[in-house]
A and B are shown apart, each in its own frame.
Chain A
Amino acid sequence: MKKKISITFFVILLLVSISTAELLPENEAAAAQVQVINLSIDPAVLMPYDMATVTITLANTGTKSVAISSAQLLSKEFKVLSDSYGKVGAIGAGNSMSFTYTIQAGGTSGIFYPVFSIDYRDANFLRYPFRVLVQENPLEVSVLNKPETFVNGKKEDITIHIGNPRDNPVTGVTVIPRKGEHEITPTSYFSGVLAPDSSVDIPFSVTPYGDSPIEFTVQYQNGINQHEVSYTLPVETGKKSRKQADTVLSNVQVEIEKDHFRVTGDVTNSGLETANAVVITSADPAVPVFPFKVYAVGALKPDDFASFEVTFRADENVTEVPLRTSFKDNDGNEFSSDTLVELGEGKGPKPKKDDDGFSPVIIGVVGVLALGVLGAVWYSRRQRG
């Protein structure tokens, strides 16, 4: 019995001595040769709620294999979505080993330090805090150049400017305009990678139809995370451009002719752009008639003027008639404006005289004259006898 107890005591002593032997200084020294030689985060800078992959590479620079019990990533601010590494095994002398984790940022931005922790089997552990940056800055979108005013149906060029204020590049930058009732080309624009602190200008042609705003959505990726930012461009049509050609009628004179009105005058381009294909005609309630139903002036440069002449009919009770001046800009967009011309009350063209022969009064007067003359002739002849 005593012998059994003695054997058991020695076995336990042996085991204790063996375990004590594993925590020996040489094992600690071997574990100390294990170093983090590389750490990469993709994307390098996260946005709130972004997911990223963290890859940590260990290398054993010692001459002795080191057994690793487990490896894990610890953080209060990030969710570690991937599992911990358990029962990793040993990392041989001169070898390296990589550990990859998926993490997700929280809702706050800032600089955080998650900890990479390794438990050695024959030594203590390794704790490696590393820096992770979370930035909220999205891409900046603005309009570089746009027309002073939009004109319905007139094509205008605009430039969307996109800047990356972040510390890391973003990929897959695509601009998609929500066109609505407008015509916009191109329908989308793929720009690709946008480096930190750089920008890109993207041209668009917009032909507005109505006043609905245009929303430009910029889609991009930060790592595998899809983001988008919008820019709304207000569109207000119907306002006159400061440079647009503008036709002004002056020296307008109304003449009444047989059965129609004839209006003459000068048309001047008081704008700063050329007015092409200037045409003048009369509008309702007037009815244009030949010879000048429509008067084509042609192109008018700024400050140029030309004479015009239009002919039209109007009812007797019409006192004002609009003269419609239309022209086209260099893109072929047509503009028109009306100028009221006063005809004067009760001064309309006389109705055509009825062609129903002489009036009975005239015939009667002529007949009386004829009879009177014949009577005078007869009387003067009678005196002869």
Chain B
Amino acid sequence: MIIEVLTNPRAFFGTICKQEPSLKKPALIILGMALIGSVTGYMMGELSGKLFSGMMEGLATIAAVSAAITTFLSTFLIWLIAAVILFGLQKVMEGTGTFKRVMEICGYGMIPLVFATIISLLLSAYYIPQADISPIRSTNPEEISKAAMSMMLDPALHEFSIISAIVTIIFLIWVANIWSIGVEMSCGLQPKKALIAAGLPVLIYSAYTLASLLLFTGGPA
């Protein structure tokens, strides 16, 4: 079934739209993605916590666990936000899909992001050990800000951020493709309108991600 979503989404959604919308399987997909993502979040949180480890004992572990939980929850939140945006856009395009249906489409459509998350995990396992983070010992906000900025400028983390973002954008194209077919099949939209409804948020998100990278990390490594 999952393979059909990726290889023949039109047939998959053609079958799905004839059934009552169910969020069970999409939720499992998002859960898998959240679990994998939370491992990456744990690693990044541990790295960030190391920055402040000089201030308090065990801060690195607290930061790592917090980051893992945040990543886990935010994955579900992203699903919800994406569904809300997609639902709104398909409504603007005069679509007929219900929110539950759109959320179901959205969940299935995020299957490529599971791969992106796995690749991000592998990338973080490769890049994070290379990062050199100096613990901050001062409580001066200016020095903390400087140290945080220096973490962003760490060559390994910089490279990881850019590659991770590019991989995510690549897989978002796939996601947009699945969403557009899903919306077209399940919400009665014209192919062009469906492509706009699914592609617009991905395009805006991709532009925002690239702009953020250029702004905070000073461009490509």
Contacts and interface: CB of A to CB of B under 8 A. Distances in A.
Given A350-B132, A376-B6, A366 B181 contact: no
B174 interface: yes
A131 interface: no
A377 B177 contact: yes
A186 B173 CA distance: 94
A353 B177 contact: no
A381 B162 CA distance: 29
Given A257-B134, A373-B173, A352 B155 contact: yes
Given A380-B6, A384-B10, A369 B173 contact: no
Contacts of B212: none
Interface in A331-385: 349-350, 352-353, 355, 357-358, 362, 366, 369-370, 373-374, 376-377, 379-381, 383-384
Contact of B159 (A258, A358, A373): A358
Contacts of A309: 137
B11 A373 contact: no
* Interface residue tally on A, bucketed by range: 20 to 34
A349 B181 CA distance: 52
A352 B155 CA distance: 9
A370 B181 CA distance: 20
Contact of B163 (A349, A358, A381): A358
B124 to A, nearest CB: 13
Contact of A366 (B135, B163, B174): B163
Contacts of B220: 357-358
B10 A257 contact: no
Contact of A353 (B119, B134, B135, B156): B156
Given A355-B221, A358-B163, A384-B10, A366 B170 contact: yes
Contacts of A384: 10
A171 to B, nearest CB: 72
Contacts of B162: 358
Interface string A226-259: 0000000000000000000000000000010111
Contacts of A362: 159, 163
B7 A377 contact: no
Interface of A: 255, 257-259, 262, 309, 349-350, 352-353, 355, 357-358, 362, 366, 369-370, 373-374, 376-377, 379-381, 383-384
Closest 6 CB pairs of A and B: A353-B155, A258-B132, A377-B177, A383-B8, A257-B134, A373-B174
